[in-house]
Amino acid sequence: QVQLVESGGGLVQAGGSLRLSCAASGRTFSRYTMGWFRQAPGKEREFVAAITASGGGTYYTDSVKGRFTISRDNAKNTVYLQMNSLGPEDTAVYYCACAALRGVVTTQSWQYDYWGQGTQVTVSS
C-alpha cells in the first residue's frame, strides 16, 4: 500500500505561484504513475497533470498547459506541482494520486489506486 501526504497549499493573489508537494510512503514509489487532480466548489473532480514512473513523460489538461509543471524525485518519494500565473479559476482542493502504471499516464481517476487527503489552493482576485 501507498500512503500520500500533501503540503504546499494556501492563499495566493492572482498572478502568483505555489508549489505543491506530495510525499509517498512505500518502497516501490518509482514504479507508479503519479497524478494531480483538483475539485472546485460545485464541480466534479478534474484531472490536472500526470507523470510517468520514471519522470520521462508528462501530460497536462489544456487549462494549465504552460503554467503548471509536474515533476518527481524518486529518491525522495515525492511528486511536485509547480503552479505559476495562478488565477481565481484555479481555486480548488488539489489531490495527488498514484496508479500502478509504468511508462504511460492516465487522466481517469478510477485508474488511480491511492489518494492523498487534498490541500486547499485559494487564488484571490
Mean of all residue pLDDT scores within the chain: 95
pLDDT tens digit sequence for 63-84 = 999 999 999 999 999 999 999 9
| pLDDT over 70, % of the chain | 100
Bin 120: left if φ > 0, else alpha if -120 < ψ < 50, else beta.
beta
- Report helix, strand and coil shares of the chain as percent, to nearest 5: 10, 45, 40
Res. 101 pLDDT band, cuts 50 70 90: confident
- Residue 29, classed as helix, strand or coil, is helix
Q: Mean pLDDT across the stretch 7-33?
A: 94
Q: Mean pLDDT across the stretch 78-105?
A: 95
| pLDDT over 90, % of the chain | 89
Q: Mean pLDDT across the stretch 82-99?
A: 97
State the Cα–Cα distance between residues 85 and 47, nearest whole angstrom. Answer: 19
State the Cα–Cα distance between residues 94 and 118, nearest whole angstrom. Answer: 5
State the Cα–Cα distance between residues 72 and 76, nearest whole angstrom. Answer: 8
